[in-house]
Structure 1
Amino acid sequence: MPASLLSTLTTTPLFAVGLTLAAFLLGSALFYRLHKPSWLPAILIAALLLAATLAILRVPYATYQQGATWLTILLGPATVALGMPLYQQLPRIGELWRPLMVCLPIAAMLAASYALMIAWLMGSSQQILASIAAKSVTAPIAIGITEQLGGSVALLMGALLMTGVVTIPFVGLGAKLLNINDDRIIGFALGLNGHAIGTVRAFELSPTAGAFASLGMSLTGILTALLLPLAWRLLGIGS
């Protein structure tokens, strides 16, 4: 592609939006062609295709990110739309609200702390710590938290992708080892730990699993947004 034409295209958001949608559609097609492997979700295939395309075209990530901002804006409404399956499964959710409220704070705290501990032991900088702290939270909320902590949104997006991809096989393996067949528990674990990627996988299992994944993702996001910045300041990590 001529440099002048590429430079003209990248000045408009249509290039980034079109490239993203094309990568997603191709990734989804390859995902189904490979018989939907849980360890290689469509979003990971799309991300790899997109990264390879940007590298081949030599388009800086900052340029792509500026054009893709329009898609980022849509993340909020997409997350809110998950309230519909929550409403449909409200009676089942009401039956388990006590155990859910007990395990949620513990699981959300562990989801943030174990990654931070590993990164700290490896000598990571404060910016890296701030970038991965919200790795188990859905992107619209995680971006706000990361910016507040002084982290890098680019590093966060990579951490979100890795977390979601790794969560799917680990939750499946854990459910198999513990002989857990309840879609409510499996879905809640997928949403709590794997945010949107885990929630997509949960909807593939059943509507009930998807609803509980939406619940886990939403509650984890709210709890983390309220408590993580406070804990960050109290522990003096960002100072």
Structure 2
Amino acid sequence: MARSPLALLGVTLGGYQLGRWLQRRTGGHAVAQPVLVAIVVVGVAITVLDIDYPDYRRATELIAFWLGPATVALAIPLHRQASRLQGFVVPMLVAVAVGAVVSIVSAVWLARLLGAGEDIERTLATKAATTPVAIALTESLGGIPALAAVFAIITGIMSAILAPATLSVLRIRDRRARGLAVGAVSHGIGASRMLREDETEGAFAGLAMGLSALALSLLVPVCALFLF
């Protein structure tokens, strides 16, 4: 019974709800990310029950299906904030493109500096993209797609935890800039975090997530010509 699809689905949703409860109990502490808590709960559960990840993935296909509509729904707050785009479009596009290049180059150079193999370098190059995009780009580069998904998720979680506080320390107050910065590197996890903090920040984080994925899709192959 514990290995049934319904039970595994319940464990996943229960882990996420536990994360939300901890978040409320801690007053919205940055470390109390529901996604992070759910990952820990699910990881422990499938390890104890000796369930292979492919079996778990098939059992929770329903959740994966709803990720698409949930991502599209991020366009709703952006529509409400459409007037805030005035005079911001060009700087935004430039920032996303430059940020994508910096993300690719810095990840590859850091991996090279630490002595990683070229397959790891190619895998890390896509870490700032959303998980599906990172997997596809890594396959085209000859990296390790499964590891690319791990890097993308870790990047998203860590950025969602650290980025808002870092922006505050740097005295970046513009709601649009804050949302753009977080969404460009922390994907849907960061967008949901910013949406809880402020609707404008959440709207621009959602927009940045899409633009960053597009920019990385275009720039990773170009940068790869010079890096590898």
Q: Tell me whether the two structures share a fold, i.e. TM-score over 0.5.
A: yes
Task: Return the match for 2:152 from 157, 160, 182.
Answer: 160
Do the aligned partners of residues 43 and 105 (structure 1) sit closer, same or farther apart at CA in structure 2, a change above 3 Å counting?
same
What pairs up with 1:45-194 in 2 under 5 angstroms? 45-194=37-186
Whether 2:9 is the aligned partner of 1:17: answer yes
Where does structure 1 lack aligned partners over 5 or more consecutive residues? none
Query: Over residues 55-81 of structure 1, what are the superposed CA-to-partner deviations in whole Å (9 max), with x where a residue is unaligned?
Result: 111212233234344433433332222
* TM-score normalised by structure 2 residue count: 0.87
RMSD (Å) for aligned C-alpha atoms: 2.4
Give the SS at the match of 2:86: helix
Partners of 1:124 and 1:77 lie apart in 2 by: 37
The answer to whether the Cα contact below 8 Å between 2:126 and 2:134 also exists between their aligned partners in 1 is yes
Give the SS at the match of 2:30: coil
Where does structure 2 lack aligned partners over 5 or more consecutive residues? none
Partners of 1:69 and 1:132 lie apart in 2 by: 27
Select between 73-82 and 40-49 the one with higher mean Cα deviation: 73-82
Q: Which amino acid aligns with 2:19?
A: G
Give the SS at the match of 1:95: coil
Query: Over residues 38-57 of structure 1, what are the superposed CA-to-partner deviations in whole Å (9 max), with x where a residue is unaligned?
Result: 13311111111111111111
Task: Return the match for 1:195 from 178, 181, 187.
Answer: 187
Task: Return the match for 1:42 from 22, 34, 41.
Answer: 34
1:142 to partner: Cα distance: 2.5
Task: Return the match for 1:226 from 205, 210, 218.
Answer: 218
Select between 167-176 and 209-218 the one with higher mean Cα deviation: 167-176
1:97 to partner: Cα distance: 1.0
Query: Over residues 88-138 of structure 1, what are the superposed CA-to-partner deviations in whole Å (9 max), with x where a residue is unaligned?
Result: 211211321121122111111112222222222223234433333222222
> Who is 1:213 aligned against?
205
Query: Over residues 145-190 of structure 1, what are the superposed CA-to-partner deviations in whole Å (9 max), with x where a residue is unaligned?
Result: 2333344443233222321232234433332333222211111111
Q: Which amino acid aligns with 2:77?
A: P
The answer to whether the Cα contact below 8 Å between 2:19 and 2:35 also exists between their aligned partners in 1 is yes
Do the aligned partners of residues 77 and 125 (structure 1) sit closer, same or farther apart at CA in structure 2, a change above 3 Å counting?
farther
The answer to whether the Cα contact below 8 Å between 1:86 and 1:212 also exists between their aligned partners in 2 is yes
The answer to whether the Cα contact below 8 Å between 2:187 and 2:209 also exists between their aligned partners in 1 is yes
Select between 51-60 and 73-82 the one with higher mean Cα deviation: 73-82
Partners of 2:92 and 2:53 lie apart in 1 by: 39
* TM-score normalised by structure 1 residue count: 0.83
Aligned residue pairs total: 228
Partners of 1:131 and 1:189 lie apart in 2 by: 22
Percent of pairs with identical residues: 32
Give the SS at the match of 1:74: helix
The answer to whether the Cα contact below 8 Å between 1:27 and 1:49 also exists between their aligned partners in 2 is no
